[in-house]
Structures are given as C-alpha cells and as structure tokens.
A and B are shown apart, each in its own frame.
Chain A
C-alpha cells in the first residue's frame, strides 16, 4: 500500500490504518464519513450544538478504539455508524427528562423517507432491509422506524405514541424477530 493509493482506500483500510495511529488516514476517514454521520447526529439529537458534541466525542473515540475494529464482524461504515449512534443514544439518556414529548402518531408516520436520489445510492443491505420492513404489519415497521430515528426508549415511545408499553414492546419485538427471519432468507 503506497501513498498514491490513498485516494482509493476503502473505509476499512482507512479505519485499520487509523488503528495504527496514522493521522492522515484518520483525517481522510473523517472527511469521507463526517457529513453522513453528522446528519445522523442532527436527526437524533434535534439540536445542532449537541450534534456537534456527539460527532466530536464519537471521532475521538474512533481514534482511540480503531485498533479494536474487527472487519470479520462487519464493515467500517456500520462500525462507525454504531459508534456515533451509541454515543448519541447515551447522550439522549443523560438528558434529565425527555425533552421531546411531542405526540408520535404511529399511524401517520411516513413508511419511508427515502427520496429517489438517495435510493439510487442505497446499499444492497439497505434495499434488503427496506424490502423486509415493507413486509411487516405497518404498525410494526412504523414503530421500528420511530425508534431508530428518535433514539427513544420503549417507555418514551409508548408515551409519545399513546400506546400501552406492553403493546409497543410486543410490536417492536415481533418486528425484530420477523426482520431477522426475513433477512436470513
């Protein structure tokens, strides 16, 4: 791997080199992934300043933990998404009280927010997941989406959706079981 190849390095290669303390690889990793990950932070935190904190803290953690990235357990993109999302969710949990108590109407949540442009760039993994989500009972798939894009707990989702907690839990658990089966086939 010589220097001229860096323009075409995969995220996996950049992450592996970040794990060896290569700052140039780390900078390139940030350049290539920060906009997508920052979009995720903004969506989850609903606050740009907090989203910036999450992105910063997540990348500091990426630098320190990159040597523990195991490519046999999944792609770099997924690993980075998990680091950022976990940091955001931990931060949401630290908020003393749920700041977002807007009613969530599961019946009216969109089934998908994917525009045609984004769809053209979607990964095969995404398209498989979307196909499986479409096969679920709409209230299952909507509750999974609501959970994914808000980072809210079961309890918060039940309150905001005005659904009994046990009902909401069973929707999401059945959705997860059915997704697992669907994605295995």
Chain B
C-alpha cells in the first residue's frame, strides 16, 4: 500500500469524494466516473462504509414540520387522482406525446410558456431529473424535441416538422459535450417519436453545457462513429421540470 500506484490514486480519489474535500469540478468528474463504472461505484461505496459512520458524532435535531410538507408538495403527493402518476407517469402518456408532436406551433409555444410559469411558481426543486432540448433546423423551424429522463436513462425524440431527407438516408442524433467530440445517441425518425436508451456514460454527460445535434447519415447510421453527413438541426439541453410536464400533459382538462 505504500507504493502510490495508479489504482491507489484512483481509490483515494473516491475517498476524497466521500470525505468531501474536492472542488465542484473534481466532484463532477468523479460523479461521471461513478455513473459509468460499476467498479468505481463499488470502490466509492466501500469508502462510504468506512468514513460515513463519523456522522454518528452529530446529535439529532428535529426538522420543522414544514420540511415534510414541502417534500410532499414537491412530489405532488397531495394532488388528487394522481396517485399512480408520481413517477414517470407522464412519460408513458402517449396522448401527451401526440399532442406535443402534432399540436400546432402555438400550442407548443403555450406549453413551453406554461412550463416556465409553473417552474417559477414551484418551491425549490432538487437536481432536475428531466432535461429537454429543442432542435432547431437551419431554416429556423423546430425539427425535433428531445426529453431526457435521467433516472430511467432514456430519451424520447419527437419530430416536429423536420425537412424531408433523401430516401436511403437516416437522421442520427449526437450528444456534443462542451469541448468534446460528438457521441452517437441513436438513429431517429422524421415522422415518429423514438425512445432511445442512454448508456450511463451518456447520462453522465447530459447537462446544460452539452448540445444535441442531428446529422444525416447512411441507412444504419454513421459508419465511422462520428457524424459524416450534414448537421441539419441542433439545440442546447435545458431543464424540464417533471411536475410541470405532468401538468402540461393534460391539455384536455379545463384550466
């Protein structure tokens, strides 16, 4: 143990993460590693077991009752008739996607406005588990919208009004982390919503500094692992509060 091998340095990094001495950037780097590597997650878990018992030295304090009330409110436990809806229900709501997909531009704009309004009227929320991107085409029209469910590691990509592409070609979606090469997310469609499963390393790179882009590739996708055809649409990734989306998901109800 006294020779500082690379393994040892790596292991100590997880210890430093658990202890909490790393700055924000280093913490984010470790978290990406933990999301991508089960070995790293296991090593970090071992350090939790070693170090976190120190928390037993801190005496308990009763939190004020409003904390539990705020948790219930944030999770919408008290909203009527939505019991089964608390987790990801809106995701399965085909009607919502159809509505978002085929609704008019004005409706879509209204929905976006509603998202913003609702988001700003909610109590402070935890790290956003859902993210969204609007992929604008070069002509200024919305080509696709992408919504990412971070917890379930999947993304649904809905075509709005993408321009026609040549037969035998297919649109491919890419994630472009800031300052890094594009990473293939999957093949998408110009006419149907697609659900793509995201790898842990991909999920770890989702965030407000990353962008999504669509390139036109041969059928079956880029043969090189990097975009080979023209980029036809792109957009930045932002937060999409789940609670707001869920409310938006019931346009048929009177306001």
Contact = CB atoms under 8 A, between A and B. Distances in A.
Interface of A: 21, 23, 27, 30, 34-36, 38-40, 42-43, 52-53, 55-61, 63-65, 68, 73-75, 78-79, 81-82, 85, 87, 89-90, 93-94, 112-114, 118, 121-123, 125-126, 128-129, 144-145, 147-149, 151-155, 157, 172-173, 176-177, 179-181, 183
Given A82-B52, A85-B55, A53 B19 contact: no
A144 B51 CA distance: 10
A106 B63 CA distance: 31
Contacts of A55: 63, 67
A55 B158 CA distance: 36
B55 A81 contact: yes
Nearest to A68: B151
B191 interface: no
Interface stretch (B70-78, B211-219, B231-239): B70-78
Nearest to A88: B20
B140 interface: no
Contacts of B74: 56, 60
Given A60-B74, A64-B87, 11 more contacts: A23-B77, A43-B58, A52-B64, A74-B49, A81-B52, A126-B56, A148-B19, A148-B55, A154-B22, A179-B50, A183-B50
Contacts, number: 167
Interface in B44-99: 45, 48-64, 66-68, 70-71, 74-75, 77, 86-87
A57 B126 contact: yes
A10 to B, nearest CB: 17
A148 B54 contact: yes
B228 interface: no
Contacts of A93: 23-24, 27
A40 B54 CA distance: 11
Given A23-B77, A52-B63, A173-B12, A118 B57 contact: yes
Nearest to B123: A56
Interface of B: 1, 8, 11-12, 15-16, 18-24, 27, 41-42, 45, 48-64, 66-68, 70-71, 74-75, 77, 86-87, 123-127, 129, 151
A52 B21 contact: no
B27 A89 contact: yes
